[in-house]
Amino acid sequence: MDISNCNLYDLSKYDYHLPEELIAQSPAEPRDSSRLLVLHRNSGEINHAVFRDLPSYLREGDVIVLNNTKVMAARLFGKKEGGTAEIEVLLLCPLSHDNLAWEALVRPGKRVKPGRKVVFPGGEKIEIAESLPSGTRRVLFEQGTDPFKMMETYGRVPLPPYIRSTDAEPDRYQTIFAERLGSAAAPTAGLHFTPKLLDELERKGVKIAHVTLHVGIGTFKPIAAKDVRQHKMHAEFCSLPDATAKLINETKRKGGKIVAVGTTVVRTLETMVDDMGAAISGSGWTQKFIYPGYTFRIIDALITNFHLPKSTLMLLVSAFAGYENIMNAYQEAIKLRYRFYSFGDAMLII
C-alpha cells in the first residue's frame, strides 16, 4: 500500500469522538452474546451479527490463533514503612531471573523516594528503587519473598483506567483459555469465546492454535509523536510454539486462512516470521509496531475489539483493513451504539 502521498502518518487522522456512555463498564453475558461488526476489507461492506455467529464466517481448514496469556493479580496495596499513607504497587514484568526485581507503577510515586520501602499485609516489604525511562519504577523484593504468591494472596486484577465502575467478577477479565501467567492486561478480543463456541468451531473443521504474548501496560500508553513513525513501541514477551508454527505453515500451503484473535496475536505472528513469510517457532521480546503501509505476512483475518482513538491498536487495524474502512466502520458502530473497549463488542475483519 503506497501512502506516501496521503497523510496517514499524522496521528490526528486516527481520532474520533466516542460518547462516554458507549464505553462498556461490564461485559456481555454470556460472553458470546456480544455484538459482532463484520468488515469486508476488500469492499468495505459492513454486516452486523452476534459473536456466536462466528463459525458461519469461517471455513473448514481455517485456523484461529488465540493468545493464552493470563492476567496477573498485579495490584498490591501496602503502607509506606514508618507511615500510614497507602501505596499501590502495580507489578508489570520481572527484571531478573529470580523474580525479585520488577518494573512497576507506584502510586502516588512522589511519596516514595528511591530507597524507601512499602510494607504489605503479610509483613513483606518492597523497596522502591530508581525511575525507569518509561516513567515506571524498579522495585525490589526481599530474599525469600515470592511475588507470585503475594499476588495470589492479596493482589487485585488491574482493569483499564476507563473502566471506572463494574459489577464483573475478576475472572471475566480473563479468557477461558488463559493459562500462562504474565500479563498486566487481558487480550480482550479473546474474552468473547465460550467453551461451546470453541467446540462448535472445531466441529466445523476450524483448528485452534495458541501463542503467548504477555500484554504490558504500554498498551494504554498514548502516542506522543505527531508523526506516528516517531513512536517507539513498548517491548512485550511473546512465544510461538513449534506446533502452532507448523499448523500455520501447513494451513497456508493448503489455502486455509489464519485468523488472529486480537492485536497481540497479530504482533506475535508478524514478529515470528521468516523472510519467506513462514511462521517460525521461538520466544523473545517484540517491539513490533504496525501502522498503515505495513505488509502483512501471516494473518488473513482479524477478530478485535473497538480501540481507543489515536492508539497503536487503531493504527494496526487501519493497516490491516484500510484507513477509510476502519473510520467508516467505527462511525457505523457509534451510530448503532456498539459498546467499546475492553468489555465491549467485537469486530471481525475478513
- Please indicate whether residue 209 or residue 233 has the higher confidence score (pLDDT): 209
Candidate ranges 27-41, 85-99, 111-125, 131-145; pick with highest mean pLDDT:
27-41
For 109-141, give one letter per residue: b (16+ CB within 10 A) or e: beebeeebbbbbeeebebbbbeeeebebbbbbb
pLDDT in tens, 248-273: 999 999 999 999 999 999 999 999 99
Under the banding of pLDDT at 50, 70 and 90, the label for residue 347 is: very high
Using only C-alpha atoms, what is the Rg of the chain?
21
pLDDT at 6: 61
Report how far residue 91's alpha carbon sits from residue 145's, in angstroms, rounded to the nearest whole number.
Answer: 14
Report how far residue 277's alpha carbon sits from residue 177's, in angstroms, rounded to the nearest whole number.
Answer: 28
pLDDT at 1: 43
pLDDT at 135: 83
Provide DSSP, 51-101.
Answer: GGGGGGG--TT-EEEEE-EEE---EEEEEETTS--EEEEEEEEESSTTS-E
pLDDT at 216: 87
Under the banding of pLDDT at 50, 70 and 90, the label for residue 109 is: confident
3 state SS of 321:
helix
Question: Which residues make Cβ contacts (< 8 Å) with residue 157, sequence separation at least 6?
Answer: 71, 72, 73, 74, 75, 170, 173, 174
